[in-house]
Copies of this chain bind each other. A is one copy, B any other.
Amino acid sequence: MRRDVFQAIADPTRRGIIILIATQAMTPNALAERFDTSRQAISKHLRILTECQLVKQEQTGREIYYHLNATKMKEVADFIEPFRQMWETKFNQLDNLLSNIKNNKK
- Is the contact region of chain A dominated by helix, strand, or loop, or is it mixed? helix
Cα–Cα, bound, A86→B9 (Å): 17
State which size class the interface on A falls in: 20 to 34
Tell me, yes or no, whether A73 is within 8 Å of chain B by CB: yes
CB distance from A73 to the nearest CB of B (A): 5
Stoichiometry, copies per complex: 2
With a cutoff of 8 Å between Cβ atoms, the chain B residues found around residue A77 in the complex are 77, 80, 84
A residues neighboring B (CB under 8 Å): 4, 6-7, 9-10, 12, 15, 22, 68, 70-71, 73-74, 76-77, 79-80, 82-84, 86-87, 90
Among all A-B residue pairs, the 5 with the closest Cβ atoms: A70-B86, A10-B10, A70-B87, A71-B87, A70-B83
